[in-house]
Amino acid sequence: MDAIYEVHGLTKRYGRTTALDGAEFAVTPGKLVGLLGPNGSGKTTLLKISAGLLTPTAGSVLVNKTPVGVYTKAVTSYLPDRMALPTEFTAADAVSLYNDFFPDFDKAKADAMLADLRIQAHDKIGAMSKGTQEKMQLCLTMSRAAKLYLLDEPLGGVDPAARDYILQILHNYSEDAALVLSTHLIGDIEKVLDEVIFLQNGKALRQAAVDELREETGMSVDAYFREVYKC
């Protein structure tokens, strides 16, 4: 199957600091992929470049065989690692904005997910806890019928009681799409992952199917991560 998300020789430098150093990998449709690595390994920079928010120093990203640009932004649903909406907005305002801005947005799906997570339409973003803000943004992101979902720390501030519901949301994306997420909560999320990509010093150290990695190493993904990146 042809890859829907390709990263070729991706490099990003900030002055003397190299955030990405020739990262290379590809993801096919129907895969839920964990982007794993320690702080400073380049995960957030990679996702921002892929979403069209940063320009690479060298290399390229292709989504559905197309370089990042107007088309790829229309088929990529991106969840940033921090709140990106005005804090004076209510949840209903946020849903309305997404509904107006993205032709592939499913308002009914978003409303249903927000209700399941007990987020009221009149709740103001500025009055929400960090975890509730993250849950709301994730509902909006996953309510699009995108080709590629890029999620930066989707479970960072989410309470354990809501995590199983959110993992179910993540697992029920379209088979024609791919979902790539960065996380440090590997133990919580590895049960829904199909593949993992390990980043280190801005390079893609290894890409592997989760089942094959467990069989090869005799360890969970979480245990393998701790072994590879131990201080």
60-82 confidence digits (pLDDT tens): 999 999 999 999 999 999 999 88
- Residues 225/67, Cβ–Cβ less than 8 Å: no
Read off the pLDDT of residues 92-106 as tens digits, 9 standing for 90 and up.
999 999 999 999 999
Read off the pLDDT of residues 141-160 as tens digits, 9 standing for 90 and up.
999 999 999 999 988 778 88
Q: How confident is the model at residue 169 (pLDDT cuts 50, 70, 90)?
A: confident
CB neighbour burial string for 53-80, b if at least 16 within 10 angstroms, e if fewer: ebebeebebbbbeeebeeebeebbbbbb
pTM score, whole prediction? 0.94
For the chain, give the mean pLDDT: 93
